[in-house]
Amino acid sequence: MRSLKLGLFENAQTNASGTATWRHPDSRRHLFDTLGYWQEVARLCEDAKLDFLFLADAWGWSEINGVRPPIATEETLDLPRLDPFVIASALLASTTDLGLVVTGSVLVEPPYAFARRLATLDQLSGGRLGWNVVTTGTADTAVKAFGMDMVAHDDRYAMAEDFLDLVYKYWEGAWEPDALEKDKAGRFADPAKVHLVEHRGPYFRSHGYGNTARSPQGTPVLFQAGASPAGRRVGGRHGECMFVGSGSVEQLAGHTRAIRAEAVNAGRKADEVKVMSAFSCVVGATTSDAERRWQRILDAQRPEVTVASYAMFTGLDLSSYAPDTPMTELSTEMSQTQVARFAGKTVGDVLADWHTHGVGARPVVGTAEEIADEICALAEGADLDGFLLSPTVQPASTVEFVESVLPILRERGVFRGEYADGESLRERLTGSGDRALPAGHPAARHRH
Ligand code: FMN
């Protein structure tokens, strides 16, 4: 079995992924707005030698028929948050090896400023940065805050293509890797290696010089999680690590096949794209102990949060449909995956069980051995390269995983023990031995 990549899912707010477990006695996520919380999480990841800490993000909030429901505030479902870029910036100072993956929206960010911000983080972290490219999960409300009109689902992916093309030009083409000479007896930089960028795309325009020189990785490692046909096409062309939501071995195997097929369609190798599944678990001394612990987590939530939570991801008000309405009758311009994944179920089914998993899937509940078995079975059966650990109660779930499941994975030889010295995030994740993107990637054509 191949060696697994492991990252930790985090979100700079009190809850994550459509669940609201913040009341659980072991949850300290209400301290998300303190630097100490983030330093503790980063230390936990780095001591465990995890590949990266992933910071999810959204700009929007939950609305039902144009109104933000009070429960969204009472249970702090969506707001308030902190800025993941600023958290990453604080954490790169207290870590040395941990990869930092930030979520950045192609819908609302101005690409020229965005290119500089990411290059700065990649530069200061010594090549430890990844970017989760998102078209924005909460697009319907985010656009209002930015004074924009809503952009339809597939058009947002067309925007992603244009945005990527523009930022690649700055990251890969504006300053050649050896442009800076920093020679006090000679010159600081070679003008022949600094290039003017011109971009006139369907959505974005730019004419200028790179505000930052080339950073260690040039383009940060590209993460993506689009699961619709348009999302997978963009991921197959550009993504280096693709996240998939969790599910059965068969469901995950189908996602992995589809993603690798899109990479091949785009002229890349099937294994050039690493596929990582979200993975959630509840560990117990025995299976029944784990089940009791999971029940306590579920009891910590108010089930009424479901309608607001589902609306946050899809814009759909499930309470306005008859419970026996098949989910296949619903459609959205927001996350289409959160409708498509419930084909075969009714609105009533989703209302009954959304609070057990939110946008994720039900956690694997069992002993550390059982959880390690499941991880290995999923990885082998679904051709996965790794997992994005999605804690149910933070940081307690991560501590439990690191202390009880990780040693078993190490014993079985499926997760490495140490970081390699001076390795960039790209080298670590792709095993390519090169901190730059490979020559066949669409970004590479902008190099001089
Ligand atoms: N969307 C966001 O807007 N912000 C995020 O931080 C974010 N993180 C994700 C993490 C994982 C593990 C997964 C599976 C998805 C995430 N998404 C996030 C959603 C995806 O970017 C994408 O919008 C979603 O899977 C729906 O895809 P589709 O619009 O192609 O159907």
Kindly state if the Cβ of 336 falls inside 6 Å of ligand 1: yes
Flag whether 353 is marked binding: no
Flag whether 62 is marked binding: no
Give the CATH architecture of domain 5-446: Alpha-Beta Barrel (3.20)
Q: What is the pLDDT of residue 246?
A: 78
Kindly state if the Cβ of 127 falls inside 6 Å of ligand 1: no
Cα 343 to ligand 1 centroid, rounded to whole Å: 19
For residue range 376-401, list pLDDT tens digits in order. 999 999 999 999 999 999 999 999 99
Kindly state if the Cβ of 231 falls inside 6 Å of ligand 1: yes
Q: What is the pLDDT of residue 16?
A: 86
Q: For a substitution probing ligand 1, which of 85, 132, 312 has the most ligand atoms within 8 Å of its CB?
A: 132
Cα 369 to ligand 1 centroid, rounded to whole Å: 30
Measure the CA–CA gap between 306 and 300, rounded to whole angstroms.
14
| Weakly modelled stretches of the chain, pLDDT under 70 | none
Q: For a substitution probing ligand 1, which of 337, 342, 359, 389 has the most ligand atoms within 8 Å of its CB?
A: 337
Flag whether 367 is marked binding: no
Q: What is the pLDDT of residue 357?
A: 87
Measuring from atom 22 of ligand 1, which residue has the nearest CA?
A: 226
Cα 398 to ligand 1 centroid, rounded to whole Å: 22
Flag whether 136 is marked binding: no
Cα 74 to ligand 1 centroid, rounded to whole Å: 25
Kindly state if the Cβ of 278 falls inside 6 Å of ligand 1: yes
Kindly state if the Cβ of 225 falls inside 6 Å of ligand 1: yes
Measuring from atom 6 of ligand 1, which residue has the nearest CA?
A: 56
Q: Which atom of ligand 1 is nearest to 360's Cα?
A: 14
For residue range 167-205, list pLDDT tens digits in order. 999 999 999 999 999 999 999 999 999 999 999 999 999
Kindly state if the Cβ of 363 falls inside 6 Å of ligand 1: no
ipTM > 0.90 (yes/no): yes
Measuring from atom 15 of ligand 1, which residue has the nearest CA?
A: 225
Domain positions in the chain are 5-446
Cα 226 to ligand 1 centroid, rounded to whole Å: 6
Cα 242 to ligand 1 centroid, rounded to whole Å: 10
Q: Which atom of ligand 1 is nearest to 231's Cα?
A: 30
Please write down the HEC assignment for all residues of the chain. CCCCEEEEEEECECCCCCCCCCCCCCCCHHHCCCHHHHHHHHHHHHHCCCCEEEEECCCCCCCECCECCHHHHHCCCCCCECCHHHHHHHHHHHCCCCEEEEEEECCCCCHHHHHHHHHHHHHHCCCCEEEEEECCCCHHHHHHHCCCCCCCHHHHHHHHHHHHHHHHHHHHHHECCCCECCCCCCCCECHHHECCEEEECCCCEEEECCCCCCCCCCCCEEEECCCCHHHHHHHHHHCCEEEECCCCHHHHHHHHHHHHHHHHHCCCCHHHCEEEEEECEEECCCHHHHHHHHHHHHHCCCCCHHHHHHHHHHCCCHHHCCCCCEHHHCCCCCCCHHHHCCCCCEHHHHHHHHHHCCCCCCCEEECHHHHHHHHHHHHHHCCCCEEEECCCCCCHHHHHHHHHHHHHHHHCCCCCCCCCCCCCHHHHHHCCCCCCCCCCCHHHHHCC
Flag whether 157 is marked binding: yes
Kindly state if the Cβ of 219 falls inside 6 Å of ligand 1: no
